Amino acid sequence: MHRILRKCRAAAGFTLIEILVALVILSISLVTIMQLFSGGLKASRIAGDYTQAIFLAREKMEELLLDKEDSTEITEGDFNNDYKWQAEITPFSLTAGDDNKVPVEVYEIQVSVSRKDDTGKQVLLQTLKTVKKEDES
């Protein structure tokens, strides 16, 4: 009889406490995995936004470099999507001595692109543009 009771106890299965502990461990693991996935998706979205802003800033910079006008001004506008831009063209002083001997004029171009929702993040590109001086004679 004693032998039969031992077999019944061994085949009884899991206790309620063991099942609850297993469920707690499983739920903590699932929550951690879900947070990792959501963090990865957020990082992917931020990288995509940054890449899009760089692309748009380079596009606007190329447009300004190809422009024949030599106006020094601040212009701004927005693209057809969620981004806005601001461009500033200013004369750049050469420190090579006498500026009159240099056959070109140099302008500094700054283009900044940011999201319209004002998250405070922006991309800023700078370059120099040389323009041949017109003969003053």
Residue 137 falls inside a structural domain: no
107 forms beta bridges with: 91, 129
Q: Say if CB 114 and CB 123 are below 8 A apart.
A: yes
Q: How far apart, in Å, are the Cα atoms of 72 and each of 90, 91, 101?
A: 5, 7, 22
127 with 61: CB under 8 angstroms?
yes
* pLDDT tens for each residue of the chain, 137 residues long: 566 656 655 556 889 999 999 999 999 999 999 999 999 999 999 899 899 999 999 999 999 888 877 677 888 888 877 899 999 999 888 776 655 677 788 889 999 999 888 777 889 999 998 888 776 54
Q: pLDDT value at position 71?
A: 73
| HSE (side-chain half, CA atoms, 13 Å) at 29 | 6
Say if 23 falls within a structural domain. Answer: yes
**CB-facing half-sphere around the CA of 83: CA atoms within 13 A:** 22
Contact between 105 and 70 under an 8 Å Cβ cutoff? The reply is: yes
Q: For position 67, what pLDDT does the model report?
A: 83
> Domain count of the chain?
1
* pTM to 2 decimal places: 0.67
Residues of the domain holding 108: 2-132
Burial zone of 122 (CB within 10 Å; 0-12 exposed, 13-18 middle, 19+ buried): middle
Report the pLDDT value the prediction gives residue 80, as an integer from 0 to 100: 78
Domain assignment present for residue 95? The answer is: yes
